[in-house]
Amino acid sequence: MEKIVKLASENGIMIFSKSTCCLCYAVQILFNELGVHPFVHEIDHDPDGKEIEKALLRMGSGGPVPAVFIGGKLVGSTNEVMSLHLSGSLIPLLRPYLHAMS
C-alpha cells in the first residue's frame, strides 16, 4: 500500500502499531532503551487502518502489528526484532538512527 511505503521511507525507524497491543509497546520500549526514537503510526487511529493491516500481512510481516521498518525496509514483527536483538544484529541496523549511543 502506498501509504505504508511513503511513511516507511520518510521515517528511519517506523513502527505500525495498535494502541492496545502490548507487543507493539514492548518493541517501542526496546527501541527507546537502545537510544532510538521510532515514528509510531497507530493503525487503530487511522481511517485506513484495516487496509493498512491487510497490506502489512501481504507484505510478509509476521503479524499485522507491530510491523517494524528500518531504513524503509520491512524487518518484521516482534519475533524478528527480538531475534535480531538477541543475535546482536539489531544495533548495527539501528546505528544510523542512534541518539543516545552515538
pLDDT at position 102 over 70:
no
Cβ-proximal residues to 55 (8 Å cutoff; 6+ apart), any chain: 1, 4
At residue 64, the pLDDT reads 84
**Cβ 65 vs Cβ 40: under 8 Å:** no
- Assess if residue 102 is contained within a domain: no
- Assess if residue 6 is contained within a domain: yes
Task: Supply the pTM of this predicted model.
Answer: 0.92
pLDDT at position 48 over 70:
yes
At residue 99, the pLDDT reads 67
- Assess if residue 75 is contained within a domain: yes
- Assess if residue 61 is contained within a domain: yes
Hey, what's the cell of 17?
502499531
The total of structural domains in the chain comes to 1
- Assess if residue 76 is contained within a domain: yes
- Assess if residue 8 is contained within a domain: yes
CATH code, domain carrying 26 = 3.40.30.10
Q: Which residue has the higher pLDDT, 50 or 1?
A: 50
- Assess if residue 91 is contained within a domain: yes
- Assess if residue 78 is contained within a domain: yes
Task: Annotate 49-91 with DSSP letters as a single string.
Answer: HHHHHHHHHHHT-SSSSSEEEETTEEEESHHHHHHHHHHT-HH
Mean pLDDT of the region 16-43:
96
Domain that includes residue 39, residue range? 2-97
